[in-house]
Amino acid sequence: MTLEQVAHRAKVSTATVSRVLNNASVVKTSTRARVVKAIEELKYHPNLHARHLAGGKSRTIGMIVSNMENPFFFDIYKTVESDAHAAGFEVVVANTDYRSEQLVASIRLMIGRRVAGLAVVVSEMEPALIEELTDSNIPVVFYDVGAPRQNITNIRVNYGRGIDKIIDYLYSLGHRKLGFVGHHAMLGPINERVKPVLDAVARYPGVEVRTAADADTLDGGRLAARALLASGEQPTAIVCVNDIMAVGALRELRERGIRVPQDVSVTGFDNVKLSEFCYPALTTVHIPRDTIGHLICDTLLSKSGNNAAADHEMVIDPEFVLRDSTGPAPGR
C-alpha cells in the first residue's frame, strides 16, 4: 500500500494525500473526506522509512542502557519515554548487556537511524566510540558514574559521596570488617566503582574490605555474597553496588542462617522500589531516576532545538536512606 495508490483511488495527487496525512495546510473538506475514505478502505499505513527519508527530521530519540533488567535503568527509561511522548517524540531503546560489542553495534544503529537525540546510560565506554558519537553531530547525553566527558553533556551521580555516606554509617555502628559486592562491568583494575569504596575505607584506620564481583542480577548478588562468605573471615557488613545485587546477597545470607542485620548488615544502592519490598528492607542510597530522566530529555530536546548551549555537566548528590538491613556490628 503506497501513497500513490491512495492518491489514485481518491483521484487526487500524492501531494494532496500527503497533506491530509500531515493535516497540514488547507485541504478542502470534501477532498479530505475522499482521501480519508481511500486510506481506510485500503488500510493504508504510511511507510515511516520513506517519510523519514523525505522529511529529513527524525522525531525519535534513542537510548542505550547496560541492563534493562535492573529496574534502575528501567526507571530512567520510563521517565524519558514519558517526557519524550509528551513532546511528540518516540524513543527506541537498546540493551547492551554490559557487552562492548553490543554497545558499538547499538550506537552505530542509532546513528544509522539518524535519531534526533541519544541518551547513553552505560558504565564503560571507549574514547574512540565517544568520538564517533560526537562526530556524528547528533545531540548526546551521557549518564555515568565515571569521569566527566569533554564536549558532551554529562549527567553523573556522585557515586563516591554515596559510598562515603554508607561507610560512615557502618563505621559508626562499629563495623570494621567489610565486604563489597560489585558487578562484572567492574572487573579488571581498580575502577570507578571499587575505588570509591577503597577510598572511603582508607579514611578509617583499622577497617578492612574484601571484594567480590558477579553479574548484575539477583543471582549475581547471591553468588558474589557466597564468594565473600566462602573465603576468609566473615565480614560484619556487606556493601553492595546496587539494590538488586543486595537482594541477591540477602538470600544467600538467609539460606546460610545468617541473620540480617543481627549477624551481618547489608546495604544497597539506588533505592529502587524493590529495596522497600525485600526482607529486610534495605538501607540504601537514593538516586533520583526521575530527575535523571527529566534531565536527559530536557537536554536532548533543547539541544535538538536551537540553543546548542549547555554542554556542561550535572552531578547528582545521592541521599542516604536508612531502613532495616543494617544494625550494630555483632558483639558491640
Partner DNA sequence: TTGAAAGCGGTACCAG
Partner DNA sequence: CTGGTACCGCTTTCAA
Residues that bind DNA (CB under 7 A): 1-4, 11-16, 18-19, 21-22, 24-28, 30-32, 44-47, 50-51, 53-56
Q: Which residues are CB-neighbours of 135 under 8 A, at least 6 positions away? A: none
Which one among 15, 23, 28, 135 touches a copy of itself, defined by CB under 8 A? Answer: 135
C-alpha–C-alpha distance, residues 315 and 160, integer Å: 12
288 touches a copy of itself (CB under 8 A) = no
Nearest residue (CB) to DNA, 12 versus 120: 12
Segment near a copy of itself (CB under 8 A), from 167-175, 206-214, 242-250, 293-301?
Answer: 242-250
How many residues touch a copy of itself under the rule CB under 8 A: the total is 44
Q: Which of residues 58-77 bind a copy of itself (CB under 8 A)?
A: 68-69, 71, 74
The verdict on 104 binding a copy of itself (CB under 8 A) reads no
Is residue 302 a contact residue for a copy of itself (CB under 8 A)?
Answer: no
Cell numbers of 111, please?
546513528
Stretch near a copy of itself under the rule CB under 8 A, chosen from 146-154, 189-197, 226-234, 248-256: 248-256
Tell the smallest beta-carbon distance from residue 51 to DNA (Å). 4
**Partner in contact with 257, chosen from a copy of itself, DNA, none, beta carbon below 5 to 8 Å by kind:** none
23 binds, among DNA, a copy of itself, none (CB under 5 to 8 A by kind): none
190 in Cβ contact with 159 (< 8 Å): no
Candidate residues 136, 158, 291, 302; the one interacting with a copy of itself per rule CB under 8 A: 136
Candidates 93, 129, 152, 314; binder of a copy of itself (CB under 8 A) is 93
Shortest distance (Å) from residue 2 CB to DNA: 4
Q: Is 239 in the site for a copy of itself (CB under 8 A)?
A: no
Question: Cβ 33 to DNA, closest distance in Å?
Answer: 10
CA distance 225 to 264: 12
Q: Which is nearer to DNA, 45 or 331 (CB)?
A: 45
Interaction between residue 290 and a copy of itself (CB under 8 A): no
Least distance to DNA from the beta carbon of 57, Å? Answer: 7
3-state secondary structure the chain: CCHHHHHHHHCCCHHHHHHHHCCCCCCCHHHHHHHHHHHHHHCCCCCHHHHHHHHCCCCEEEEEECCCCCHHHHHHHHHHHHHHHHCCCEEEEEECCCCHHHHHHHHHHHHHHCCCEEEEECCCCCHHHHHHHHHCCCCEEEEECCCCCCCCEEEEECHHHHHHHHHHHHHHCCCCEEEEEEEHHHCCCCCCCHHHHHHHHHCCCCCEEEEEEECCCHHHHHHHHHHHHHCCCCCCEEEECCHHHHHHHHHHHHHCCCCCCCCCEEECCECCCHHHHCCCCCEEEECCHHHHHHHHHHHHHHHHCCCCCCCCEEEECCEEECCCCCCCCCCC
Residue closer to a copy of itself, measured from CB, 71 or 235: 71
User: Given the complex with DNA, which of 49 and 233 has the nearer CB atom?
Assistant: 49
Within its chain, how far is the Cα of 324 from the centroid? 26
* Residue for grid cell 559510598: 163
Q: Kindly list the residues in this chain that would bind a copy of itself in the complex (CB under 8 A).
A: 43, 45-53, 68-69, 71, 74, 78, 81, 90, 92-93, 95, 108-109, 111-114, 132, 135-136, 217-219, 222, 247-248, 250-251, 254, 273-274, 276-279
